[in-house]
Amino acid sequence: MYTLSENYKRFIEENKSKNKIINQIELTLLNEDGNKDDIDKIIIHNNQIESVRNEALDYLISYAYFVLSDDFISEEELYDFTALKRIFRIKEGDFIKLKHFEVLEVLKQQFIRMYSDNFIDTKEAITKVNLQIMFDLSYDEFESLKEDEVITSLINGANPKDLDISTLPKGFRI
């Protein structure tokens, strides 16, 4: 069974799901005696994981916002998110395919915050990697999504070495 963090438990307390199946899964996750078989029974009994997928993605995006309220994604929060993706049977590509706009909003908000001072510190670099993992983005997809903010920072005089980038955007030279 998945042992989820205290942060996830706080999320559940503050954001009770209105979806019956998600709510049952939350209760099972909180129950110390709950196990993977119990979760599978909920999903199989309701035979609706496909119909709940959209709401599960919304649920995970809500959890991402909750996690990012302190502008950092810890290892245990990343573990929670990854475990929840497994529990809800979220496949690679589902976020971008089904919740493209919502994922872009989360990422854009973080990129604007991170690049606003024209410097990426260690915590921000870790958070960027964790965001890429959370939303199952390829390296190229992620680089493309953050490009506007990188360009803005460079135009504002940022040193490329301070931006945690591997290559300069087209049209820029050192």
Query: What's this model's pTM, rounded to 2 decimal places?
Result: 0.92
Residues 86 and 121 both lie in one domain: no
Give CA–CA dist 148/112, Å, rounded.
9
Which one of 62, 90, 118 terminates a domain?
90
Top-confidence residue, 16 or 13:
13
Residues 9 and 43 both lie in one domain: yes
Residues 53 and 133 both lie in one domain: no
Residues 80 and 17 both lie in one domain: yes
Which one of 69, 90, 111 terminates a domain?
90
Left if phi > 0, otherwise alpha if psi is -120 to 50, otherwise beta: which for 119? Answer: beta
Domain count, the chain: 2
Residues 75 and 105 both lie in one domain: no
Domain containing 154 equals 92-174
- What is the pLDDT at residue 51? 74
Report the candidate in 54, 62, 52 with the shortest Cα–Cα distance to residue 22. 52
Residues 53 and 112 both lie in one domain: no
**13 to each of 17, 30, 56, 66, 160, how far by Cα in Å?**
10, 11, 17, 12, 42
Q: Which of 21-25, 42-46, 109-113 has the lowest mean pLDDT?
A: 42-46
Q: Which of 33-47, 58-72, 81-95, 129-143 has the lowest mean pLDDT?
A: 33-47
Residues 59 and 122 both lie in one domain: no
In tens, the pLDDT along 74-129 reads 999 999 999 999 999 999 999 999 999 999 999 999 999 999 999 999 999 999 99
Report the candidate in 73, 45, 70, 82 with the shortest Cα–Cα distance to residue 130. 73
Q: Which of 28-37, 54-63, 131-140 has the lowest mean pLDDT?
A: 28-37
In tens, the pLDDT along 56-70 reads 999 999 999 999 999
Q: Which three-class secondary structure string do you get for the chain? A: CCCCCHHHHHHHHHCCCCCHHHHHHHHHHHCCCCCHHHHHHHHHHHCCHHHHHHHHHHHHHHHHHHHHHHCCCCHHHHHHHHHHHHHCCCCCCHHHHHCHHHHHHHHHHHHHHHHCCCCCCHHHHHHHHHHHHHCCCCHHHHHHHHHHHHHHHHHCCCCHHHCCCCCCCCCCCC
Residues 19 and 79 both lie in one domain: yes
- What is the pLDDT at residue 1? 64
